[in-house]
């Protein structure tokens, strides 16, 4: 990649600044931290532009954003709410919420959904944000998070169950069944 | 395909990640199974709710300036903020990054 190409590459990344910030903001849950993470990600992306090996540039950028966010989270020690901690204890089933009332998500309280998203363990939250908001494929999420596709699938399934539970208003009373039936 | 096989695949089906053959099998099952059809509808509604643009955070103007992205109004000759308008590799203009703030514990 020559100098001019590199410059064009950097400029093209700016096209996804909103996506980068959205992902960072959901991951670190703080505006200033998210801004810091995105700036750092763009610096890294520019530095490693020559190492880009094809594929989707947006997914590549978001993977860098994700990694910077994780570094920041571990530094801030806010990643204590990780999957290993609560997978067993808090695994509920959305089956219990499958009545017509709870399925009317178009009437859902947006605030409840936002709170439920923020309360997800960061590994679940990233899967949801990358998939549902940023439209990344399972393969791209797996690549960004450094996990097998099967784990992407199980995290998405569990994250969605939790969100449905929260939206049904039953999260508090039915989240302790401990039933594990999802594939890894 | 029965419910036990179908339910875990519903996510991949709705995410467009299933191969054609499995997708067709799921669809055949959904036609016959009200339970799974309800599950599918619930997941689809959740997807719609999560896709609400109101849930997205847009990049603040301060960040646009920090990374050198065009800021609204600048093309029309708007003033550039002090320290703004740098390139991608620009070091932090205001030194804010290195100052760690104390944080509230996560809820």
The answer to whether residues A87 and A154 belong to one domain is yes
Rounded CA-CA distance A159/A15 in Å is 29
Where does the pLDDT of residue A108 fall: very low under 50, low under 70, confident under 90, or very high at 90 and above?
low
Q: Which two tokens stand for residue A55?
A: 């594929």
Find out whether A96 and A175 touch, Cβ atoms under 8 Å: no
**What residue segments make up the domains of chain B, in order of their start?**
3-55
Percent of chain A with pLDDT over 70: 72
Rounded CA-CA distance A136/A20 in Å is 13
The answer to whether residues A89 and A125 belong to one domain is yes
A112 pLDDT above the threshold of 60: yes
Find out whether A150 and B11 touch, Cβ atoms under 8 Å: no
The DSSP output letter for A131 is I
Q: Which of B50, B101, B107 sits opposite A128 (nearest CB)?
A: B50
Where does the pLDDT of residue A55 fall: very low under 50, low under 70, confident under 90, or very high at 90 and above?
confident
A33 pLDDT above the threshold of 80: yes
**Residues A40, B68: C-beta atoms closer than 8 Å:** no
Residue A126 placed within a domain: yes
When the pLDDT of each residue in chain A is averaged and rounded to a whole number, the result is: 79
B20 touching A, CB under 8 A? Answer: no
Res B1: pLDDT: 86
Which of B60, B37, B11 is closest to A131 using CA atoms?
Answer: B11
Residue A180 placed within a domain: no
Q: Kindly identify which residue of chain B lies nearest to residue A31, measuring between CA atoms.
A: B60
**Residues B63, A17: C-beta atoms closer than 8 Å:** yes
Where does the pLDDT of residue A47 fall: very low under 50, low under 70, confident under 90, or very high at 90 and above?
confident
The answer to whether residues A22 and A72 belong to one domain is yes
Domain range for A89: 83-174
Residue A55 placed within a domain: yes
Where does the pLDDT of residue A171 fall: very low under 50, low under 70, confident under 90, or very high at 90 and above?
low
The DSSP output letter for A163 is H
State the CB neighbour count (10 A cutoff) for residue A19: 21
Residue A10 placed within a domain: yes
The answer to whether residues A94 and A160 belong to one domain is yes
Residue reference for tokens 């990640």? B17
B12 contact residues in A (CB cutoff 8 A): 138, 153
CATH of the domain at A146: 1.10.10.10
B45 touching A, CB under 8 A? Answer: yes
B12 vs B87: which has the higher pLDDT: B12
Where does the pLDDT of residue A66 fall: very low under 50, low under 70, confident under 90, or very high at 90 and above?
very high
Find out whether A27 and A126 touch, Cβ atoms under 8 Å: yes
A143 pLDDT above the threshold of 90: yes
B40 contact residues in A (CB cutoff 8 A): none
The residue out of A11, A44, A76 marking a domain boundary is A76
Residue reference for tokens 């920041």? A72
Res A170: pLDDT: 58
Which of A114, A58, A19, A119 is closest to B52 using CA atoms?
Answer: A114
Res B61: pLDDT: 94
Rounded CA-CA distance A173/A87 in Å is 17
Which of A97, A158, A104 is closest to B49 using CA atoms?
Answer: A104
Find out whether A46 and A10 touch, Cβ atoms under 8 Å: yes
Residue A184 placed within a domain: no
Rounded CA-CA distance A10/B89 in Å is 10
Q: State pLDDT tens for residues B38-89.
A: 999 999 999 999 999 999 999 999 999 998 876 665 544 333 333 333 333 3
Min CA distance, A22 vs chain B (Å)?
Answer: 5
Res A130: pLDDT: 98
Which of B45, B75, B86 is closest to A14 using CA atoms?
Answer: B86
- pTM higher than 0.90 for the full model? no
**ipTM over the 0.85 cut-off:** no
Helices (H), B51-88: 61-67
Domain count, chain A: 2
Least confident range of A68-72, A108-112, A169-173: A169-173
The residue out of A20, A44, A76 marking a domain boundary is A76
B87 vs A151: which has the higher pLDDT: A151
B99 touching A, CB under 8 A? Answer: no
Q: How far from each other are the two terminal CA atoms of chain B, in whole angstroms?
A: 42
B49 touching A, CB under 8 A? Answer: yes
Dihedral in degrees, nearest 10, Cα atoms A35, A114, A119, B67: -10
**Residues B63, A128: C-beta atoms closer than 8 Å:** no
A104 contact residues in B (CB cutoff 8 A): 45
> Averaged over A137-143, what is the pLDDT?
96
Res B79: pLDDT: 38
A79 contact residues in B (CB cutoff 8 A): none
Min CA distance, A2 vs chain B (Å)?
Answer: 17
> Averaged over A22-49, what is the pLDDT?
93
State the CB neighbour count (10 A cutoff) for residue A149: 15
B94 touching A, CB under 8 A? Answer: no
State the CB neighbour count (10 A cutoff) for residue A141: 27
**Residues B15, A156: C-beta atoms closer than 8 Å:** yes
Burial of A16 (0-12, 13-18, 19+ CB in 10 A): buried
Min CA distance, A53 vs chain B (Å)?
Answer: 20
The answer to whether residues A67 and A100 belong to one domain is no
């Amino acid at each position: 990649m020559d100098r001019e190409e590199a410059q064009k590459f950097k400029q093209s990344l700016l096209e996804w600044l909103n996506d980068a910030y959205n992902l960072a903001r959901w991951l670190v849950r703080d505006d200033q931290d998210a801004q810091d993470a995105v700036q750092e990600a763009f610096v890294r992306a520019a530095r490693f532009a020559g190492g880009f090996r094809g594929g989707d540039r947006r997914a590549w950028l978001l993977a860098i954003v994700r990694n910077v966010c994780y570094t920041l989270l571990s530094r801030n020690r806010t990643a204590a709410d990780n999957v290993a901690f609560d997978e067993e204890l808090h695994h509920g089933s959305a089956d219990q919420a499958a009545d017509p009332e709870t399925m009317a998500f178009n009437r859902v309280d947006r605030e409840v959904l936002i709170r439920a998203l923020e309360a997800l363990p960061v590994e679940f939250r990233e899967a949801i944000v990358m998939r549902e908001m940023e439209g990344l494929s399972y393969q791209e999420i797996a690549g960004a998070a450094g996990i097998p596709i099967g784990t992407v699938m199980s995290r998405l399934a569990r994250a969605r169950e939790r969100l449905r539970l929260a939206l049904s208003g039953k999260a508090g009373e039915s989240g302790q069944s401990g039933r594990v039936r999802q594939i890894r | 395909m029965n419910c036990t096989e179908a339910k875990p695949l519903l996510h991949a089906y709705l995410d467009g990640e299933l191969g054609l053959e499995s997708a067709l099998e799921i669809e055949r099952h959904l036609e016959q199974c009200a339970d799974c059809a309800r599950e599918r509808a619930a997941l689809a509604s959740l997807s719609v709710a999560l896709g609400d643009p109101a849930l997205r955070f847009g990049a603040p103007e301060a960040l646009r300036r920090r990374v050198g992205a065009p800021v609204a109004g600048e093309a029309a000759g708007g003033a550039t903020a002090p320290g703004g308008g740098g390139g991608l590799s620009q070091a932090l203009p205001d030194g804010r990054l290195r100052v760690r703030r104390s944080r509230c514990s996560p809820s």
